[in-house]
A and B are shown apart, each in its own frame.
Chain A
């Protein structure tokens, strides 16, 4: 079966250190000021009844991807394993996809194309840089169509959510809560 790549992040373990951000920048040669992933720390409540949730965010590789729909040249496309990818040659930098993305996952690369997380697809689905660096082992990546995979196991056994589900894009980045 064609793989369906998903990412599963454990908000309970994440300490919001941003190692995933720095390693992504070097692994993917992300230009200064650009972020393919980033970390948000959200604290709720009033002193002393507080709770914090840490999330490492990135392109959600949505099943319903408005960026692909809104791309006039076909540069944003459905890539291997159901991921969302950008063909740098076809991209004119019209920024429609930036408008279309509810997650603000995209940015303009200084070389004129639009850039974002690729799930490290140059590794052909083997692993992502952020997953391998994470000191809390909170990032899991793999094939959700493989019932034996770690991501399948986590999604089956733990409570999880996606970011801004009301945007209706069916994200493939899941957060364990």
Chain B
């Protein structure tokens, strides 16, 4: 076998960091996906059963979306080297830049999700609102408006969820990320983690079963998408196979298979299937595993993606 010795004549390159994106980006992608999932799940419930009763908890959960999204945005903001220049995102629209899309999508997300969530406040929650806000809530709760808001909310949530994956998949320079599956994968994972998060709250039994069932479906889809992701990598060029190798046999294998595949997908899949058949386990164990798996998925993909590259230069 021919040897190939590559010597890169740089000593201690601390500015060209091996990983330029640290914890902030995966946390943002995770929370963004979570928010997207909550927006979709809460809206779809309204759309599927406009007249149906929803528990107070379930109604309040729509407020979780802007909350976790804001935490995620905060993490993203922390990642900026020049944090006070953040308005620059809104001084340009760059159609080929996913992050530019993301910045502008977020502008649509907040008013929509706020209106929708306001309309979900009922009873004592709505009574506590200032009169003007109460008027807005009344307006947003009107069936025709609510329906439109829910449609919008679900649509924008879907965009947001896909965007979290597209942000990475737009980077053709990183062979690990360069896959169109990432958008749907992160969207599905966002939905699944959102369901898991909602299951941690005291929703009623019917809602609980609904969320569990939905989660099961989403996990199955995620497994399928992950399979496609790997299939795409391992049938690709040597560059993409080398990138895939980072997760299959490389330095990220143990954490990826331990936290994401086993802990985040396999165990919850079997656990929830058992619950479907009436075995009741711990109320928070499986959701927590799913949430950890969702965060780990992004964390590991962001880290491993940065380690993947074209032929060494």
The answer to whether A and B touch directly, with their CB atoms under 8 angstroms apart, is yes
Binding site for B on A (CB under 8 A): 16, 18, 21, 31-35, 38-46, 57, 66, 69-75, 90-96, 98-104, 106-110, 112-113, 163-164, 166-168
Distance in angstroms from B91 CB to nearest chain A CB is 7
Please report B residues at the A interface, Cβ cutoff 8 Å: 2-10, 12-17, 20-21, 79-82, 85-86, 88-89, 91-92, 94, 96-100, 102-103, 168, 170-174, 177, 237, 239, 305-306, 309-311, 313
Task: Judge whether A72 and B94 touch: CB under 8 Å.
Answer: yes
Distance between B180 CB and nearest chain A CB, rounded to angstroms: 16
Rounded to whole angstroms, the CA-CA distance of A110 and B14 in the bound complex is 11
In the complex, which residues of chain A have a beta carbon less than 8 angstroms from the beta carbon of B171? 66, 70, 96, 99-100
Q: How far is the CB of B88 from chain A (nearest CB, A)?
A: 4
Other A-B pairs, 16, CB within 8 Å; known A31-B15, A40-B6, A166-B239? A32-B15, A39-B8, A39-B9, A42-B7, A43-B4, A57-B313, A72-B103, A74-B94, A90-B91, A92-B86, A93-B80, A93-B85, A99-B168, A99-B174, A99-B177, A100-B172
CB <8 Å contact, B310 and A94? no
Q: Is the CB of A96 within 8 A of B96?
A: no
A-B CB contact pairs (8 Å), 9 listed: A16-B9, A38-B10, A44-B2, A46-B2, A72-B99, A74-B92, A92-B88, A99-B20, A100-B170
Q: A40 to B9, alpha carbons, bound, how many Å? A: 6
> Measured between alpha carbons, how far is A21 from B9 in the docked complex, in Å?
10
CB distance from B74 to the nearest CB of A (A): 15
In the complex where A110-B15, A167-B173 touch, is A102 in contact with B99 (Cβ < 8 A)? no
Q: Is the CB–CB distance between B80 and A94 below 8 Å?
A: yes
> Taking A33-B12, A72-B92, A96-B99 as contacts, is the C-beta distance between A104 and B309 under 8 angstroms?
yes
Tell whether, in the assembled complex, residue B15 and residue A108 are in contact, meaning their CB atoms are under 8 Å apart.
yes
Task: Give Cα A79–Cα B100 distance, bound, in whole angstroms.
Answer: 21
B50 CB to closest chain A CB (Å) equals: 38
